[in-house]
Amino acid sequence: MIPFDRIVKIDKDLNIPVYRQIAVAIINAIRNSVLKAGTHLPGSRELAKILGVHRKTVIAAYEELNAQDWIVIVPRKQVSVAEHIPVLKPQDWSQSQLKKSYKNEFSLPFRTVEKSGLSVGITSVFDIIIDDGHPDVGLSPIDDLLKTYRTLASRKHSVKDAHIGTEQGTLKLRKELVSYLSETRGLNITAENILITHGAQMSIYLSSQLLLNNSTKIIIGKPNYLIANNAFKETGTNIIEVDVDNDGIDVYAIEELCKKIKIDAVYVIPHHHYPTTVMLSVERRMKLLELSNEFLFTIIEDDYDYDYHYSSSPYLPLASADHNGNVIYIGSFSKMLDPAIRIGFMVAPQNFVTQCTALRNAIDVGGDGYMQNALAMMIKDGELKRHIKKAKKIYHSRRDHLDTLLREKLGEYITYWLPTGGMAIWIKLLPQYPIGHLEVMNGLKIKRISIAQNAFRFGFASMDEKELENAVDLLVLQFQKFKAKEK
């Protein structure tokens, strides 16, 4: 006697119709060979009695099973498990009910991936998170962006526009960027030179995948943006580190390297180098362009932090200079608006953009066309510029406020250079205070700590004056605790 009352467990609190619960239970019993091919099942009246449900419910379940080919129904005669179900090894049914379909680890060979820079361990339970340079989302015109988004998603014509060609980015946004990038960055391009991505990182990944492999060499700054490094490592390329000083990456060291070995690409973050926040000087910018011409390497210019400068306008990008075409320019709107708004861009010669678009299509068929077009409208009507202007003023005063706090309260523990722009200060601890003791703190979490540099990034843009004060006070406490312990 097959124990149907134990095979089929009905849970009336579940959000699944009872007939479907019965059907699923029977399918699982067939799969686990509790019910074998050809086994007769009770008539609907009988099973209804066993399970304490209405007969119509069982009929619905059987119809479902029949439609899915699990059982064969001969009307008014019998119901049986289909003959074509292969017989598997029998299992104890009471155990099999408990099994998780993903109880097993994946056991076949697969490769592992570099993980540095993953935001492991950061959860929303911390009262204060010192990020590595996020915008203040409260200032962001995201609500206006979303209003436009809603309008675009509700009108037939704009829906079409948002669905077409999003692997390269909507034409509307690319066209808007042509004039925006010309006005703000002196880039002289067409819509064909632009690829819209999910952010700066995707542009880095795509261009690395096309340019690099295990027989190439790329130069990066030391220290560098770790997540970019992960993208380079994915290609198997050889990574060569060159020191970054107060004028940015050492281009003269790059020149020496180029004289000795073939260099294929140089990755630079001209404003402001991550994590140290220095700006690449004008002199070095020109030198780097010269070297690219002479030694024929690609410049990957990651200019994620272009928009916020406090003492002067930003330097124009390398990409805006007269160059040989081998400069890939990368930017993002996530730093202007909100890290959740996944829109970035890459500017490159058209033949390169075409290949990147094809690769992007293989990774991810497209982007959020509504969001792209809503952003396009925000750029067109000048709202983005107004936002940046407003945010710049506020970030400027936050930078200065943090500067004051650091000098007054943490002066005996740290050193730093005040960056001319950006959203973070790179803070070095004096050697007698190892950064390790800042890794675990009550109510405060620092996102980007460098053990090697005994330093961390203090993102000031996302915090108001009070929050900056609270964060600094918590740091002071931590330093004092450490000092007391050392004595």
Please report, as residue ranges, which positions from 19 to 78 form the binding site for a second copy (by CB under 8 A): 20, 23-24, 27-28, 31-32, 64, 67-70
Phi/psi of residue 398, nearest 5 degrees: -70, -40
Nearer to a second copy, 84 or 485 (CB): 84
Total number of residues that touch a second copy (CB under 8 A): 139
Task: Tell me the CA distances in angstroms from 341 to 144, 272, 334, 369, 450, one per residue in order.
Answer: 13, 21, 6, 12, 27
Q: State the nearest-atom distance from the C-beta of 433 to a second copy, in Å.
A: 28
Q: State the nearest-atom distance from the C-beta of 475 to a second copy, in Å.
A: 20
Applying CB under 8 A, among 1, 12, 77, 106 the residue interacting with a second copy is 106
Query: Distance between CA 348 and CA 366 in Å, rounded?
Result: 19
Long-range pairs, 360-367, Cβ under 8 A, ≥24: 360/167, 360/168, 360/195, 360/197, 360/202, 360/206, 361/167, 363/206, 364/198, 365/166, 365/167, 366/166, 366/167, 367/166, 367/167, 367/169, 367/196, 367/197, 367/198, 367/342, 367/343
12 binding a second copy? (CB under 8 A): no
Longest dimension (CA), the chain: 91
Range 81-100, binding a second copy (CB under 8 A): 82, 84-86, 88, 91, 96, 99-100
Q: State the nearest-atom distance from the C-beta of 69 to a second copy, in Å.
A: 5
Q: State the nearest-atom distance from the C-beta of 480 to a second copy, in Å.
A: 28
* Pairing status of strand 298-302 against strand 327-332: parallel
Q: State the nearest-atom distance from the C-beta of 386 to a second copy, in Å.
A: 12
166 binding a second copy? (CB under 8 A): yes
Range 193-222, binding a second copy (CB under 8 A): 193, 197-199, 201-202, 205, 210-211, 213
Residue with tokens 């099994």: 99
Nearer to a second copy, 118 or 477 (CB): 118
Range 307-366, binding a second copy (CB under 8 A): 311-313, 315-316, 319-326, 338-342, 347-352, 355, 357-359, 361-366
Q: Any idea what DSSP says for residue 473?
A: H
Nearer to a second copy, 391 or 406 (CB): 391
296 binding a second copy? (CB under 8 A): yes
The answer to whether 300 and 239 are in contact (CB under 8 A) is: no
Query: Distance between CA 152 and CA 162 in Å, rounded?
Result: 8
Q: State the nearest-atom distance from the C-beta of 434 to a second copy, in Å.
A: 27
Comparing CA positions, the residue from 145, 180, 183 lying closest to residue 373 is 145
Return the number of other C-beta atoms located less than 10 Å from residue 268's C-beta: 24
119 binding a second copy? (CB under 8 A): yes
Q: State the nearest-atom distance from the C-beta of 486 to a second copy, in Å.
A: 33
Applying CB under 8 A, among 3, 90, 382, 436 the residue interacting with a second copy is 382
Long-range pairs, 86-89, Cβ under 8 A, ≥24: 86/37, 87/33, 87/36, 87/37, 88/31, 88/32, 88/33, 89/33
- The residue range among 188-196, 269-277, 397-405, 407-415 that interacts with a second copy, by the rule CB under 8 A, is 188-196
Task: Tell me the CA distances in angstroms from 396 to 44, 385, 420, 471, one per residue in order.
Answer: 75, 16, 9, 18
Beta bridge partners of 197: 344
Nearer to a second copy, 31 or 483 (CB): 31
246 binding a second copy? (CB under 8 A): no
418 binding a second copy? (CB under 8 A): no
Q: Give the total residue count for the chain.
A: 487
Applying CB under 8 A, among 248, 369, 421, 459 the residue interacting with a second copy is 369
Comparing CA positions, the residue from 103, 98, 23 lying closest to residue 60 is 23
Range 250-269, binding a second copy (CB under 8 A): 264
Token digits of residue 226: 């770790």
Nearer to a second copy, 211 or 278 (CB): 211
Q: State the nearest-atom distance from the C-beta of 57 to a second copy, in Å.
A: 15
- The residue range among 8-16, 45-53, 429-437, 475-483 that interacts with a second copy, by the rule CB under 8 A, is 8-16
Range 450-479, binding a second copy (CB under 8 A): none
Q: Where are the alpha helices (DSSP H) in 164-199?
A: 171-185
Applying CB under 8 A, among 13, 75, 77, 104 the residue interacting with a second copy is 104
Phi/psi of residue 302, nearest 5 degrees: -95, 100
Q: State the nearest-atom distance from the C-beta of 259 to a second copy, in Å.
A: 17
Element (H, E) at 445: strand 444-446
Applying CB under 8 A, among 111, 260, 485, 487 the residue interacting with a second copy is 111
Applying CB under 8 A, among 39, 80, 238, 281 the residue interacting with a second copy is 281
102 binding a second copy? (CB under 8 A): yes
> Can you say whether the dihedral through the CA atoms of 288, 294, 295, 299 is positive or negative?
positive
Nearer to a second copy, 76 or 100 (CB): 100
- The residue range among 12-20, 300-308, 395-403, 468-476 that interacts with a second copy, by the rule CB under 8 A, is 12-20
